[in-house]
């Protein structure tokens, strides 16, 4: 059943990526569907919200289970809150807005470093997620069979953030074709990471 879910989700994500590439090619704007206002962003948000929903149901299950761990329920509640926030961030670009707010309030001129403040925030959020998993490692020991999936998901998340830092502006990668190619790759990795995380929580269920 799990393998069927993994395969189905994988095929859906692949179809979304190929569909976006086809639409971009037909519109003569390959990056268009992968932009912040493109439909790939909406698909990414659906994946993140699905993870949040699983977090909520896993939280309820651990609360209602006989002899259930309160710490485990706390972990899944944090997962739900984190992914609700990430969903809103994906749709409303909250961390980018914070970047603009800091520049405006502190009257800082944008630079190659300060302009990547929003990317640093995402990286810190990912690192915090690793710390939370470590902190709740005892109640999560029952899911140790999913360590490979956890590792895969984390690698994809950190790869996505790295690509986001590289493509924040055209200073590290100056060639336009390479720059757009890496931005598309970032969105592909983001979708793949979202799918990997959804597979992970589905297996925990």
Q: Give residue 11's pLDDT.
A: 95
pLDDT for the residue numbered 12: 95
What average pLDDT is seen over the chain?
87
Q: Do 176 and 183 contact (CB within 8 A), yes or no?
A: no
Short-list 127, 45, 53, 119, CA closest to 88: 45
What pLDDT score was predicted for residue 108?
66
For residue 109, give the DSSP letter: P
Q: Which of 98, 103, 90, 102 is nearest to 46 (CA)?
A: 90
Specify the pLDDT at position 106.
61
| Token pair belonging to 30 | 């390959």
Q: Is the pLDDT assigned to residue 49 strictly greater than 80?
A: yes
Q: What is the pTM of this model?
A: 0.89
pLDDT digits (tens, 9 = 90+) for 70-116: 889 999 999 999 999 999 988 887 666 666 666 566 666 666 666 67
| Burial class of residue 104 (count of CB atoms within 10 Å of its CB; 0-12, 13-18, 19+) | exposed
Portion of the chain with pLDDT greater than 70, in percent: 86
Torsion of the alpha carbons at 193, 160, 16 and 57, rounded to the nearest 10:
30
> Sorting pLDDT into bands at 50, 70 and 90, what band is 198?
very high
Work out whether the CA dihedral 205, 47, 184, 127 comes out positive or negative.
Answer: negative
Q: How many CB atoms lie within 10 A of CB 16?
A: 21
Q: How does residue 38 score in pLDDT terms, banded at 50, 70 and 90? A: confident
CB 180 within 8 A of CB 36: no
- Portion of the chain with pLDDT greater than 90, in percent: 58
**57-71, 98-112, 138-152, 185-199: which is most confident:** 185-199
- Cβ pair 194, 47 in contact under 8 A: yes
pLDDT in tens, 149-193: 999 999 999 999 999 888 888 888 888 899 999 999 999 999 999
């Amino acid at each position: 059943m799990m393998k069927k879910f993994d395969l189905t989700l994988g095929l859906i994500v692949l179809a979304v990526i190929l569909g976006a590439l086809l639409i971009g090619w037909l519109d003569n704007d390959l990056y268009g569907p992968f932009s912040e206002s493109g439909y790939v962003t909406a698909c990414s948000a659906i994946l993140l919200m699905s993870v949040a929903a699983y977090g909520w149901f896993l939280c309820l299950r651990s609360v209602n289970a006989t002899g259930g761990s309160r710490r485990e329920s706390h972990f899944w509640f944090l997962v739900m809150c984190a992914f609700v926030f990430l969903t809103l961030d994906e749709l409303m670009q909250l961390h980018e807005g914070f970047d603009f707010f800091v520049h405006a309030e502190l009257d800082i001129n944008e630079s190659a470093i300060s302009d990547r403040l929003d990317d640093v925030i995402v990286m810190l959020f990912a690192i915090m997620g690793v710390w939370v998993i470590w902190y709740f490692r005892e109640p999560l020991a029952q899911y140790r069979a999913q360590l490979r999936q956890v590792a895969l998901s984390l690698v994809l998340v950190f790869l996505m953030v790295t690509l986001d830092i590289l493509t924040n502006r055209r200073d590290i990668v100056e060639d336009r074709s390479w720059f757009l190619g890496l931005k598309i790759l970032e969105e592909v990795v983001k979708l793949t990471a979202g799918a990997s995380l959804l597979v992970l929580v589905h297996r925990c269920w």
